[in-house]
Structure 1
Amino acid sequence: MPRIGDKAPDFSANTTWGPIQFSEYNKGSWVVLFSHPADFTPVCTTEMSGFAVRSKEFEEKNTKLMGLSIDSIHAHVAWVNNVKKNTGVLFNFPIIADIDMKVSKLYGMLQPNESETAAVRAVFFIDPQGKIRLIMYYPLNVGRNMDEIIRVLTALQTADKHSVALPLDWKPGEKVIVPPPKTVAEMEEREKSDYEMVDFYLAKKSL
């Protein structure tokens, strides 16, 4: 099962956008790869619609979406069509038809104590270098939180860009945490700074 910091396993798959090689799809951009238990199910419909409705926000963060379930390509296309007709929402990202469970097993999306035939609600955040940066798992009966998915994606990108850490419940515009000093000289220099000092090891600043 892949872990945070691992290279994202590469794979080729048939999707609603045609055949895709994941490493090519990932090249030069972040990817949020997420699984759902089954097409034509209520919670999954709300989640996939949530990703679609907010897809512009992911695009603005140089992030591509990719869904997956253990269903055929025909079921995927029929579901996409059904949701569009009933709600006007188009699932505007590729959905992997993982009928042989190859990708689900590769990414640990199949968890036998939950289900042996349906993928759990996994979310993998993969950076442009192909490294897994954050993983979320939800059970079959609890939907994900789209605000949190976008928040942690923003946090990962902010931390990378500014070499900082993010505190509890951080949101864009709030102060960030400066990495702690590694030498006495750095500690003394920090005491002269304009950081918000809780203590020498916990300092915050605005970006």
Structure 2
Amino acid sequence: MRLGSVIDDFTADSTQGPINFYKWIGESWCLLFSHPADFTPVCTTELGKMAVLIDEFKKRDVKIVGLSCDKLESHVDWIKDIKSYCLDIKGEFPYPIISDSKRELAVKLDMISEEDKDNPDCAMTIRSLYIIGPDKKVKLMMIYPTSTGRNIQEILRCIDSLQLVHRLKTVATPANWVPGEKVMILPSVKDEELDKLFPNGHDKCTMPSSVNYLRTTTDY
């Protein structure tokens, strides 16, 4: 898997019934992530936090789906524990978890660690996370070891950045950017185009090199 890779269509069993991926994602964005195993402490916090923040993902038109190599019955039982631990989850668990007990998807989607990739008896997936656009292409990848939990706010921040750049195509977001802060204007935008593209203002940073490449705007 690489940035820009097309996620092939697949059908899989999940806690919300069979999923045909292309039909399920439709024209939405998608967050597809794997976790090492059910009934593990760090994964419980991750899946619970994503469920608590489900409305933030819905606001961004992002569908969430989890995956591990445990059986469907295990997922169903584990969800009860997640809801017991994360009391802010209201109603039904808000997103499906795929059962990939044969490891077919985990291998196909590069969700297996190097030391386990050739071991059919080891079903442990790593913390792989793919943000997928409506075109079914991978827009961002985060790969964590099994020991390190994800930062859900960082995932939302990345989605905001990806969707902004997808909409405008003339900007990029700088380090630590959050919505509302300045973005960087791409070097491919000519100076004479700035007033038309960013009528509400833009700034230039003078650099010792005299190369005109740092230009910013909040007009987005």
TM-score, structure 2 length as denominator? 0.86
Alignment of 1:119-198 (within 5 A): 119-163=125-169, 164-181=171-188, 186-187=190-191, 194-198=201-205
Larger mean Cα displacement after TM superposition, 80-89 or 130-139: 80-89
Q: Which residue number corresponds to residue 93 of structure 2?
A: 91
The gaps in structure 1 that reach 5 residues or longer are none
SS in 2 for 1:174: coil
Instruction: Calculate percent identity across the aligned residue pairs.
Output: 38
Runs of 4+ with >2 A deviation: 82-91, 112-117, 186-191
Q: Which residue number corresponds to residue 68 of structure 1?
A: 67
Q: Is the 8 A contact 1:9 1:107 kept in 2?
A: no
Larger mean Cα displacement after TM superposition, 155-164 or 62-71: 155-164
Q: Which residue number corresponds to residue 103 of structure 1?
A: 105
Once the 2 structures are TM-superposed, how far is the Cα of residue 168 of structure 1 from its aligned partner?
Answer: 1.1
SS in 2 for 1:113: helix
Once the 2 structures are TM-superposed, how far is the Cα of residue 189 of structure 1 from its aligned partner?
Answer: 5.8
Which of 199, 202, 206 in structure 1 is aligned with 2:214? Answer: 202
1:38 maps to amino acid:
A
The gaps in structure 2 that reach 5 residues or longer are 207-211
Larger mean Cα displacement after TM superposition, 193-202 or 88-97: 193-202
Once the 2 structures are TM-superposed, how far is the Cα of residue 113 of structure 1 from its aligned partner?
Answer: 2.4
Q: CA separation in 2, counterparts of 1:4 and 1:157?
A: 15
2:67 maps to amino acid:
L
Q: Is the 8 A contact 2:49 2:86 kept in 1?
A: no
SS in 1 for 2:173: coil
SS in 2 for 1:122: strand
TM-score, structure 1 length as denominator? 0.91
What whole-Å deviation, never above 9, does each CA across 1:153-183 have from its counterpart, x for those lacking one?
010001111221111111100011111146x
Once the 2 structures are TM-superposed, how far is the Cα of residue 114 of structure 1 from its aligned partner?
Answer: 6.3
1:117 partnered with 2:119: no
Q: CA separation in 1, counterparts of 2:131 and 2:183?
A: 21
Once the 2 structures are TM-superposed, how far is the Cα of residue 25 of structure 1 from its aligned partner?
Answer: 1.3
Q: CA separation in 2, counterparts of 1:52 and 1:187?
A: 45
SS in 2 for 1:44: helix
Larger mean Cα displacement after TM superposition, 53-62 or 81-90: 81-90
What whole-Å deviation, never above 9, does each CA across 1:112-151 have from its counterpart, x for those lacking one?
3267421100110000111110000000011001111000
SS in 2 for 1:177: strand
Once the 2 structures are TM-superposed, how far is the Cα of residue 83 of structure 1 from its aligned partner?
Answer: 2.5
